[in-house]
Amino acid sequence: MGYMMIDGRKIEFTDEKNVLSVIRKAGINIPTLCYHSEVSTFGACRLCMVEDERGKMFASCSEEPRDGMTIYTNSGRIKKYRKLIVELLLAAHCRDCTTCVKSGECILQELAHRLGVNTIRFENTREPYELDTSSPSLVRDPNKCILCGDCVRACEELQGIGALGFAFRGTDAMVMPAFNKKIAQTDCVNCGQCRVYCPTGAISIKTHTDLVWDALADPNVRVVAQIAPAVRVA
Ligand code: FES
């Protein structure tokens, strides 16, 4: 138990496990992409950054609250860096937002609006990745993945499956099943937890149209076309 100064207000903390929880307790809404209290803390997105009185910035989800701590959640510097992080994420992201299945409920899209990211100054130099449509229920689109690892931790820690993981390094880093397998070749049980936790459209539920295309593409499926009889109007 102790007290922290947050944006000039004295806030008491008790058993909050990180600074982010104390910030939320104070009613301050700072953006996050990779923090979920029910899975382990990963500290990947850095959007929850705050700064202390010395100007040291740190991810509030990954720092324990300490008695006497002073932090600022919304200084000009922090706002500028948060905006830059979203711009960099969008730079390496497929930008078909208007036709994306997640449009309207994508957290990255919402943050871009909220933080005023209207233009992207950086070029996306990555080659487009192939979609994984092998699963009967999910579509994995690596072009929309922001490497937050939310799906990896949900699959591993909540479901105990571990169908997804990190592969490669640096700009080649990806989230995918091990050994370059397709989702259908893993132990995935189609629970959809990865989709629930994915903040973007990198993992989506197959739509009815996707399922019809899958069925038509299967050479073992026999399709019988039915033509409705013409209706004569008297
Ligand atoms: Fe803290 Fe992503 S929410 S680093």
Distances (CA, A) of 180 to 53, 154, 165, 176: 46, 20, 10, 7
pLDDT surpassing 90 at residue 221: no
Cβ-contact 65, 2 below 8 angstroms: yes
Domain 130-217 belongs to what topology? Answer: Alpha-Beta Plaits (3.30.70)
| Mean pLDDT score across all residues of the chain | 91
Question: Residue 11 belongs to what H/E stretch?
Answer: strand 9-13
| Distance from C-alpha of 22 to C-alpha of 3, rounded to nearest angstrom | 10
> What percent of the chain lies above the pLDDT cut of 70?
91
Taking the centre of ligand 1 as the mean of its atom positions, its distance from the CA of residue 35, in whole angstroms, is: 5
Chosen CATH of 2-84 out of 3.30.565.10, 3.10.20.740, 1.10.645.10, 3.20.20.105 = 3.10.20.740
d(Cα 223, Cα 226) in Å, to the nearest integer?
9
Give the integer Cα–Cα distance in Å for 215 and 133. 12
pLDDT score recorded for residue 223: 59
What's the rounded Cα separation, in Å, for the pair 107 and 216? 33
The ranges assigned to domains in the chain are: 2-84, 130-217
- Asked if residue 137 has pLDDT above 60, the reply is yes
pTM, two decimal places:
0.85
ipTM of the complex: 0.97
Best of 19, 39, 42 for a ligand 1 pocket test (most atoms within 8 Å of beta carbon): 42
Lowest mean pLDDT among 52-66, 67-81, 152-166, 202-216: 202-216
Distance 208 CA to ligand 1 centre (A): 34
The pLDDT value recorded for residue 234 is 53
With a 6 A CB cut-off, is 44 part of the ligand 1 pocket? yes
Q: What are phi and psi of 219, to 5 degrees?
A: -65, -20
Does 46 contact ligand 1 (Cβ within 6 A)? yes
What residues contact residue 90 under an 8 Å CB cut-off, 6+ apart?
108, 112, 117, 120
